[in-house]
């Protein structure tokens, strides 16, 4: 296994609820050449907080139509999925058709389709370890909208031991987020 990339706290500042907050650094690391079945990448997200916010991945969209599969190895995570909104055939990045929050733990698996921007948050007390099968290199365009809007639709924060969602004010008319399990999401996609 080899280190593929590492996201420092400084690099994550544009997408944090509080860009001045301190906490674990690096926020997460991605490893390659895992030698585990057909999995391509392993992401390890540190436990902790940045102010009230849970550590997370930067978040991105995919520029290609390939689905992406995740497997939760260990830890407790929430995958935020935000569905692209089209107006007259044009993508409007500050509006969302829907926002889904998938709570997932060890051995949960799910496949996501290309219309969803996505980011994982580590809501547990241990590192969140994930496998995925993504082989296409990311382009700067995959991160552009999320950088400009300072994160995904909702910031996942902690209040009195529970997850509290803070709406990202850079988005317009945000839909109420819907919580699902990994299994429920797969059934939902098949509908």
Contacts with Fe ion by CB under 5 A lie at: 68
Least Cβ distance, residue 92 to Fe ion (angstroms): 21
Separation between Cα atoms, residue 129 and residue 30, nearest integer Å: 10
**Residue number, 53 or 68, with CB nearest to Fe ion:** 68
Least Cβ distance, residue 22 to Fe ion (angstroms): 27
Q: How many CA atoms lie within 13 A of 56 on its CB side?
A: 26
Q: Smallest Cα–Cα separation from 116: which of 131, 135, 96?
A: 96
- Cβ-proximal residue to Fe ion, closest one: 68
**Residue number, 22 or 136, with CB nearest to Fe ion:** 136
Separation between Cα atoms, residue 52 and residue 32, nearest integer Å: 31
Least Cβ distance, residue 57 to Fe ion (angstroms): 9
**Residue number, 54 or 58, with CB nearest to Fe ion:** 58
Separation between Cα atoms, residue 71 and residue 122, nearest integer Å: 14
Least Cβ distance, residue 134 to Fe ion (angstroms): 6
Q: Smallest Cα–Cα separation from 166: which of 83, 86, 101, 91?
A: 101
**Residue number, 23 or 59, with CB nearest to Fe ion:** 59
In a 3-state reduction of DSSP, which class is residue 187?
A: helix
């Amino acid at each position: 296994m080899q280190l593929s990339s590492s996201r420092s706290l400084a690099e994550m500042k544009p997408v944090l609820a509080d860009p001045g907050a301190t906490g674990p650094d690096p926020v997460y690391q991605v490893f390659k050449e895992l030698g585990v079945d057909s999995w391509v990448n392993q992401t390890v997200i540190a436990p902790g907080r940045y102010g009230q916010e849970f550590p997370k991945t930067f978040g991105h969209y995919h520029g290609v139509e390939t689905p992406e599969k995740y497997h939760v190895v260990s830890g407790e995570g929430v995958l935020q999925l935000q569905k692209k909104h089209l107006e007259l055939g044009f993508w409007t990045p500050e509006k969302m058709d829907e926002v889904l929050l998938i709570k997932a733990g060890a051995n949960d698996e799910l496949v996501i389709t290309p219309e969803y921007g996505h980011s994982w948050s580590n809501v547990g007390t241990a590192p969140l370890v994930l496998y995925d099968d993504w082989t296409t290199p990311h382009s700067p365009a995959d991160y552009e909208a999320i950088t400009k809007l300072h994160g995904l639709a909702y910031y996942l924060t902690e209040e009195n031991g529970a997850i509290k969602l803070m709406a990202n004010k850079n988005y317009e008319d945000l839909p109420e987020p819907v919580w699902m399990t990994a299994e429920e999401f797969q059934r939902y996609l098949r509908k």
